[in-house]
């Protein structure tokens, strides 16, 4: 049986359940309403884009990915990336390290060493463990892919600075929690940690009166 996927109805149900359990999250729902779904299509283009979002602003990553998308005529596929190679990605402004990661991912998908279709059918832990075996994909990248592309309801992307800052604001903390501290605190939100993450991103954006095109506010680690 395929793992559950969040949709708008289950997102709303999860947000209401969390609000009933946690007064801080309830305040977010009361002030700003339920969060967006922030869904992305599953597959290579999305995973490549998340790699580009590592450790940079999402505005910069979005501009870079738009350049790739235009350059590849709307078809950012493993085959096309492999045919053009790292040098062409470098010419578009991708860093050498990330160009290597994207080309390496394309090679693994093209060879069948990794299958994102199989990953989509795996339980959360197995899916994350499979993804992080690919160079350039760490727990944050895998977590964001599971949260947004696979829409798993109970994943938490470790190391996301936007989540950490929003958690500190929500709880009135003077110090932003570490990745481990935030992940430990988020355990109380199971089985809706991905919904809690969306609520925190929603609060972060709403407090700053900023609008993003279906994207959370801050990129994290690998």
Average pLDDT over residues 59-77: 91
CA-nearest of 200, 61, 219 to 143 is 219
pLDDT of residue 217: 53
- CA separation for the pair 146, 135 (Å, rounded): 17
- CA separation for the pair 192, 6 (Å, rounded): 10
Residues carrying CATH 1.10.340.30, the chain: 44-149
pLDDT bin (cut points 50, 70, 90) of residue 56 is: confident
In CATH terms, 8-39+154-207 corresponds, of 1.10.1670.40, 3.60.15.10, 1.10.645.10, 2.60.120.10, to 1.10.1670.40
In CATH terms, 44-149 corresponds, of 1.10.340.30, 3.40.470.10, 1.10.3720.10, 3.30.1600.10, to 1.10.340.30
Question: DSSP string of the chain?
Answer: -PPP---HHHHHHHHHHHHHH-HHHHHHHHHH-SPP------SHHHHHHHHHTTTS-HHHHHHHHHHHHHHTTT---HHHHHHHHHHHHHHTT--HHHHHHHHHHHHHHHHTSS-HHHHHHS-HHHHHHHHTTSTT--HHHHHHIIIIIS--TT---TT-HHHHHHHHHHHT-SSPPPHHHHHHHHGGGTT-HHHHHHHHHHHHHHHTT---SS--S-----
Residues carrying CATH 1.10.1670.40, the chain: 8-39+154-207
Is the sign of the CA dihedral 188, 12, 59, 137 positive or negative? positive
* pTM of model > 0.75: yes
pLDDT of residue 214: 46
Average pLDDT over residues 73-89: 94
Convert the pLDDT of each residue in 136-172 to its tens digit.
999 999 999 999 999 999 999 999 999 999 999 999 9
Convert the pLDDT of each residue in 1-48 to its tens digit.
779 999 999 999 999 999 999 999 999 999 999 999 999 999 999 999
- CA separation for the pair 148, 211 (Å, rounded): 18
């Amino acid at each position: 049986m395929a793992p559950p996927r969040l949709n708008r109805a289950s997102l709303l149900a999860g947000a209401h359940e969390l609000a009933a359990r946690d007064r801080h999250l309830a305040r977010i729902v009361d002030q700003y309403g339920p969060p967006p779904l922030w869904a992305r299509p599953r597959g290579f283009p999305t995973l490549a884009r998340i790699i580009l979002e590592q450790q940079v602003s999402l505005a910069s990553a979005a501009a870079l990915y738009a350049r790739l998308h235009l350059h590849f005529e709307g078809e950012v596929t493993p085959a096309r990336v492999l045919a053009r190679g790292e040098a062409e990605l470098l010419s578009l402004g991708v860093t050498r390290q990330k160009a290597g990661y994207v080309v390496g991912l394309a090679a693994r998908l093209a060879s069948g060493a990794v299958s994102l279709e199989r990953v989509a059918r795996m339980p959360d832990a197995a899916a994350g463990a499979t993804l992080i075996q690919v160079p350039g994909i760490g727990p944050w990248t895998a977590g964001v892919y599971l949260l947004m592309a696979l829409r798993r309801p109970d994943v938490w992307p470790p190391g996301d600075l936007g989540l950490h800052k929003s958690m500190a604001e929500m709880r009135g903390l003077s110090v932003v929690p570490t990745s481990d501290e935030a992940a430990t605190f988020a355990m109380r939100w199971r089985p809706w940690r991905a919904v809690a993450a969306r609520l925190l991103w929603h609060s972060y954006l709403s407090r700053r009166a900023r609008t993003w095109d279906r994207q959370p506010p801050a990129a994290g680690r690998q």
